[in-house]
């Protein structure tokens, strides 16, 4: 079993989403790493269903019967989460180097203005004879 495509973040109690690749090559998507009362644990992929009384309930799509397999999945998911280097988000990059971001915004505005000037100077006037219908 191997953990792949781990996506870190904070969505309520969810700390990461990840996929599991079995030794046979099956890819199972939609696992979650949850911050619970007793620490992190892997949650199975689930789907929201509705029953006859209108109560929304979540049902597991994948079920692991073996306690040993669940513990192995938890251990591997937590290791992958802790060992994964964090990616730099655009907000953290802006906080670390605000002058670069400001320079890029100024450059983009200037380029846009130059492009507008080029288009307006190149535009031709059209007459009634130019309309195809």
Query: For the segment 25-60, what is each residue's pLDDT rounded down to a tens digit?
Result: 999 999 999 999 999 999 999 988 877 666 778 888
* Secondary structure class of 45 (helix, strand, coil): coil
Whether residue 61 contacts residue 45, with contact meaning beta carbons closer than 8 Å, is answered with: yes
Is 16's pLDDT higher than 70?
Answer: yes
Q: Please say if the pLDDT value at position 4 is more than 70.
A: yes
Span 60-79, mean pLDDT? 93
Question: Which tens digit of pLDDT belongs to each residue from 109-124?
Answer: 566 555 545 544 555 5
50-85 burial by CB neighbour count: b if 16+ within 10 A, else e? eeeeeeeeeeeeeeeeeeeeeeebbebbbebbeeee
Higher confidence at residue 74 or residue 106?
74
**Percentage of the residues of the chain whose pLDDT score is greater than 70:** 61
Between CA 105 and CA 90 the distance in angstroms is: 14
Q: Contact 58/48 with Cβ under 8 angstroms?
A: yes
């Amino acid at each position: 079993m191997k953990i792949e495509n781990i996506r870190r973040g904070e969505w309520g109690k969810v700390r990461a989403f990840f996929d599991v690749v079995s030794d046979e090559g099956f890819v199972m998507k939609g696992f979650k790493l949850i911050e619970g009362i007793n620490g992190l644990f892997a949650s199975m992929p689930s789907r929201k269903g509705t029953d006859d009384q209108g109560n929304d309930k979540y049902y597991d799509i994948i079920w692991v019967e073996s306690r040993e397999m669940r513990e192995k999945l938890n251990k591997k998911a937590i290791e992958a989460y802790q060992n994964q280097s964090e990616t730099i988000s655009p907000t953290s990059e802006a906080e670390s180097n605000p002058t670069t971001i400001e320079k890029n915004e100024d450059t983009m505005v200037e380029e846009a203005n130059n492009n507008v000037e080029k288009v307006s100077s190149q535009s031709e006037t059209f007459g009634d004879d130019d309309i195809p219908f």
